[in-house]
Amino acid sequence: HNGSFIKLLGSDNYVVAAGHTPDLIIYDEFADFDPRFDKAMRPNLAPKKAPIIIVGSPAHTSDSYYYKVEDEFRQRDNGEVFVMPTHINPHISKDWLKEEEESYRTRGEYATFQREYLAMKVFGGADAIFPMLKVPEQGLMEKYVGFTDHYVPYADKLAEIKRRYKDYDFYCSFDAGTVTCFAVLLIAIHRHSRKVTCLNSIYETDQGKTTTKQIFPRALELMQSICGDMDRWTMIYDNAAAWFAQEVQHEFDYNLFPCVKDLNKKEVKLSLIKDLMVYGRFEMTDECPKLMWEMSNYQRDQNGKIPKKNDHLIDNLRYILNQAGYDTVPREPWVDPRIEQGWRHSIRNNVDESRSLTEDIVEGFYGDSY
């Protein structure tokens, strides 16, 4: 009766979002929105200083536009974010909700239940390629909070490796992307336990900083900070970028090995990486946040295919495993023989020094779980 009306628009048709003067805007199922709709609609808030309400279950990938907007609203003085799981609704039967939860568990879709009913940020789910990856909590602007078995402090791992660096083989792989980014991954593989530690990385998306003369010195500095004996490093490059290896040889007098690709057996190497995680042979440090981001968001597309995007550091990991001849994962834990020597030393000298040696050795390979 007051001349007001409600207009319904679909976010897929983002070209119709411009040119309105609303009193209120409401987005529903925001995780499925085309970001271009929001970018076209936002200026319409200005004429009447209209509020905007955004509703929807959490998106299933951490790089979704959903989380970028959520971060924006958390940081704005006039914005607020509410987490409202289904069970707080007094009109929803708790017994029914429990039945739904069990049903989702049975179907192997519990991640969907957590997102849709518990409003939880759960990435991956049934389509995740690395569902066993232990991802730390995610803070604002794609920063990770805390550590897990697979995400460890760089300073601690570096100190551990420097104490016994001769027990490791060192690898550095270069994925010279010409469109999206230039990715570099530095890895140490323990010669006896075969544990893979992704130590450091470069993920350069500024195309003005991806030249050989800029990238290689950065990588060289990182390698030298880990192990100054450059003869112990094996450097690999994507053989589709032969120009990069030629420039490195000409400008810096270092020889790089072309990577051994497994394009026809990519899933085999991805399966190996899964086994590394399951059997406690894989970790990355907090200097590899983009690797954690790639792996936690790596999932099959709607056709069940492995996508060829956002996998630059994952490709580097595969190249290194191929170069290292890493084909099978040891199932049994490896125990350093120096532990037994430490115990004998303790008995012989009746001192407790060997216990600290034992703890140092075991914790170095298995964390605090021994």
pLDDT digits (tens, 9 = 90+) for 123-137: 655 578 888 888 887
pLDDT digits (tens, 9 = 90+) for 106-124: 776 777 787 888 887 766 5
Measuring CA to CA, which residue among 286, 294, 326 is closest to residue 312? 294
pLDDT digits (tens, 9 = 90+) for 8-24: 988 888 888 888 999 99
Q: Of 92-96, 214-218, 236-240, 303-307, which has the strongest mean pLDDT?
A: 214-218
* pLDDT > 90: percent of the chain: 45
CA dihedral 80, 85, 90, 92 (to 10 degrees): 140
Count Cβ atoms within 10 A of the Cβ of residue 52 and give its class: 0-12 exposed, 13-18 middle, 19 or more buried. middle
User: Does the pLDDT at position 358 exceed 50?
Assistant: no
Determine the residue type at 139.
G
More confident residue, 353 or 80: 80
Q: Please state, rounded to an integer, the average pLDDT across all residues of the chain.
A: 84
> Contact at 8 Å (CB) between 196 and 281?
yes
Q: Report the distance separating Cα 87 and Cα 92, nearest Å.
A: 7
pLDDT digits (tens, 9 = 90+) for 208-253: 899 999 999 999 999 999 999 999 999 999 888 899 999 999 999 9
